[in-house]
Amino acid sequence: MNNQIYQKTMPQGKHSTLQIRLADTINQAEFPLFSWLKLGQHF
């Protein structure tokens, strides 16, 4: 369901850029809550 929402909201290119920027922000802030999300993206 999330993939469909993202595709309708914004193009793939912008979504990828936002994802990268979001990951950078999370890495800098070192939020433990998002650590499992980062691990999930690798699989």
pLDDT per residue as tens digits for the range 4-17: 555 555 566 776 78
| Residue 36 backbone zone (phi > 0: left; psi -120 to 50: alpha; other: beta) | alpha
Q: What pLDDT was estimated at residue 4?
A: 56
Q: Which residue has the tokens 């793939």?
A: 12
Q: What pLDDT was estimated at residue 40?
A: 64
CB 6 within 8 A of CB 15: yes
State both tokens at 3: 């993939």
Please tell me the pTM assigned to this model: 0.32
